[in-house]
Structure 1
Amino acid sequence: MNTIKALVVDDTIVYRKIVGDALKQMPGIEVVGTANNGKIALSKIKTLKPDLMTLDIEMPEMNGIELLQALQNMDNPPLVIMVSTLTHQGGELTLQALELGAFDVLPKPEDGKMAENMRKVQKTLEPIVRHVKRHKLGRIDRTIRPKPPASAKDRDRQIIHRPAQVSRPGIRSKSEIIGIGISTGGPNALTKMIPMLPKDLKVPILIVQHMPPVFTASLADSLNKKSALDVVEATDGDTIKSGKIFIAPGGKQMKIVAGADGLTRKIKITDDPPENSCKPSADYLFRSIAQHYIGRATGVIMTGMGSDGFKGLVQMKNNGSVIIAQDKNTCTVYGMPKEPTESGIVDVIAPLEKIAAEIVKTV
């Protein structure tokens, strides 16, 4: 019962072997089948009932997007990991797949020997597989269909305002910047939350979303079309402006630095090492917000695996920031908000549909 059954779907035999071998190297994983298009995969899902499926997007007969759409009507479908090329088109299609309920994205290795690429894929898949193992026996509904919306009364009850256990120094003012850390389930959550922010929001928002290079540019483009605020992928030297949302570029780190005039604040994009195995890292961003916006910032931690962001939020809290955490029930993975919430540094615990309103209250 503790064995995870996996199905590998890709129209290229090389990638089927790389991904399949990576999964077979992990204890407790059984690769029960492969398929070279979505039509064959759909048939195998019904008979093999895999817990986990890696899925290519561009395939003959039935592509990955069409397969995800077919899974919408299936009871207890497998958790889906998209395996996508690092291209602009690949990024756009991957975002569409994530909006259809795919769990996460795995970039296709494009160079190096097969054994080296297998190890890269395995390293990326390991935390996802651990998550599936933890919850396989937890009777968690892994259907990709969205949950029905709660009533307004129920949503109001779900917001928890509480006196934090970590005191803030001095008197704080209204927030002048918002920092957001988010990972697994993030593109879907941001697609719901960002459009709820009003056009007249007079503060900048900086977001670290754990995604590979190229995909963050596609995410920024997608959110920009849906949002009343300007959303861009951050570039080195950008001046931080009110009413603008900056997304950290995948594969880089993003922080705040002082401008040459000593008054403005600018974005610094670096190639500093990963933190918490993350690049970009929420901790890396949050530390710089804590330093440059004492008593004038809001930190938001949302759905995602791992604990990236917690240490940075502690520094923000100690420097007078307000901390908002997404609640457990609306997280795809209740990892990143868990430790900040349980440690007592969080001021507000809110469901996804109320986070934008809670952000507005702090500014």
Structure 2
Amino acid sequence: MAIQLSKSSKERREPSCRVMVVDDSAVARGIVTRTLEEEDGIKVVASVPNGLMALKAAGNHEIDVVVLDIEMPELDGLAALPRLLELKPDLKVIMVSSASQRDADISLKTMAMGAADYVAKPKAGLGGAESFRAELVSKVREHGTGAGKAAVRHPPSPRQNAASAREEEVARNPARPNRAPSKPDVIAIGSSTGGPQALAEVLRDLDPALTQPILVTQHMPATFTGFLAEHMTRYSGRSATEARDGEVLEPGRIYIAPGGKHMLVERRAAGGTIIRLDDGPPENSCKPAVDPMLRSLAKAFQDRLLVVILTGMGSDGLKGCEAVQKEGGRIFAQDRESSVVWGMPGAVAQAGICEEILPLRKIGPAIIRIAGGEGK
């Protein structure tokens, strides 16, 4: 079977993002290809039905992003992924899977193997799934033309230079707590694109003696968050679970916001703090979102809160961090170089409200330093 090369329906300038679509369904390939090529600056240069043909096409084309299905004949996505990355280490691979439990688990495994991101296929099919297509376009564009692109082919723009200068300024003059530092009673982490790998590294590095509960909001659909909790249990050696409404925060446990619900906390009059799951509208186009979690934590814990914003697309977490800062809480952000996408941490860093901007490998030790009782 010959490799199908797609052609744009209208003349465009040189694309800034070149994509290969890999899926055994001709219908799915057609929908994804049309969806992407409707966007200015994106061109699908190859469309193939399995991993073997993807490897051949990758050797014949300049490709920035691969949209890779999991279940395919001859060579599936799980087997093709490492071979594609071996062939082209800078390639950004976005896994596409069904929302079934099995594929959700496999998708998380592919993230640990080097996939850049994932998109869950809707159960009703791709044809009428506007949210699926919007998410796919956003992630392809971000990884192929934005912060996710490894190679720098043009000099930095004035805007990029300004952002870098702001990062350096904040690194030299970090925000300081507006009152005497307190040992945090709780740790909160927000993440999105690239988050599962970053979360695994941060949680793995934490001292087992830390007793604070850890609340995590990772942008992820339902089904996936349960498997994320299982993976984080294995990586961290701590009990990590999808949060349940009404459960009491317990020392040392990790609570993952379930897909499709915002995770909040509520102080009880009798003492203790409980989880509240909220079915309100998305914030920043996300559900769960980081902002509502941080607002509720800031209200409940005030200055006894430590927040970490990890790699992620967009600016979710910025408004929540502003509320945290007002209450005297402390904020860390992942640095640009170690982030898959420096959107969420970059927004917080450039707002000048984070205390430290840190490479991923230093975030775990920094949490230990603060939450372990040193305070500064």
TM-score (norm 2): 0.86
Q: Quick one: which amino acid aligns to residue 246 of structure 1? A: Y
2:136 maps to 1:129: no
Q: Using a 3 Å threshold, how does the CA distance of structure 1 residues 93 and 138 change in structure 2: closer, same or farther?
A: closer
Q: Does 1:290 align with 2:298?
A: yes
Percentage of pairs with the same residue: 37
Which residue number corresponds to residue 180 of structure 1? 189
Q: Secondary structure in 1 aligned to 2:146?
A: helix
Could you tell me which of 49, 53, 60 is aligned with 1:36? Answer: 49
Residue 18 of structure 1 deviates from its aligned partner by 2.3
CA contact (8 A) 2:192 2:219 kept: yes
- Could you tell me which of 283, 286, 293 is aligned with 1:278? 286
- Structure 1 residues 11 and 2, CA gap change in structure 2 (3 angstroms): closer
Unaligned runs of 5+ in 2: 1-13, 154-169, 372-376
Partner of 2:326: 318
5 Å-filtered alignment, 1:1-363, equals 1-111=14-124, 115-117=127-129, 119-131=130-142, 132-134=144-146, 139-140=151-152, 162-164=173-175, 168=178, 170-259=179-268, 261-363=269-371
SS in 2 for 1:337: helix
- Tell me if the contact between 1:161 and 1:347 (Cα under 8 Å) persists in the aligned partners: no
Structure 1 CA distance for aligned equivalents of residues 148 and 367 of structure 2: 34
Report if aligned partners of 1:177, 1:204 keep a CA contact under 8 Å in 2: yes
Q: Is the 8 A contact 2:222 2:260 kept in 1?
A: yes
Contact kept, 8 Å, 1:2 with 1:133, in 2: the verdict is no
Q: Partner letter of residue 212 of structure 1?
A: P
* Distance in 1, Cα, partners of 2:135 & 2:364: 31
Deviations 1:281-304 (A, max 9, x none): 110100001100011000111111
Distance 2:172 2:307 in 1: 15
Conserved 8 A contact 1:49-1:78: no
Query: Could you say what secondary structure the match of 1:45 adopts?
Result: helix
Q: Amino acid of the residue matched to residue 337 of structure 1? A: P
> Residues 90 and 151 of structure 2 are in contact (CA less than 8 Å); yes or no, is this contact kept in structure 1?
no
Q: Please name the residue that 2:6 is paired with.
A: none
Cα distance in 2 between the residues matched to 1:89 and 1:136: 27
Q: Shift in Å at residue 58 of structure 1?
A: 1.3
- Is the partner of 2:87 in helix, strand or coil? coil
Distance 2:36 2:174 in 1: 45
Match of 1:148 in 2: none
Question: SS of the residue aligned with 1:332?
Answer: coil
Give deviations 1:241-263, integer Å, cap 9, x for gaps: 1100001111211111123x431
Shift of 1:137: 8.3
**1:195 partner amino acid:** R
With over 3 angstroms needed to count, the CA separation of the structure-2 counterparts of 1:53 and 1:12, relative to structure 1, is: same
Distance in 2 between the 1:226 and 1:265 partners? 26
Structure 1 spans left out of the alignment, 5+ residues: 142-158
Aligned CA distance change for structure 1 residues 42 and 291 (closer, same or farther; 3 Å): same
3-state SS of paired residue (1:334):
coil
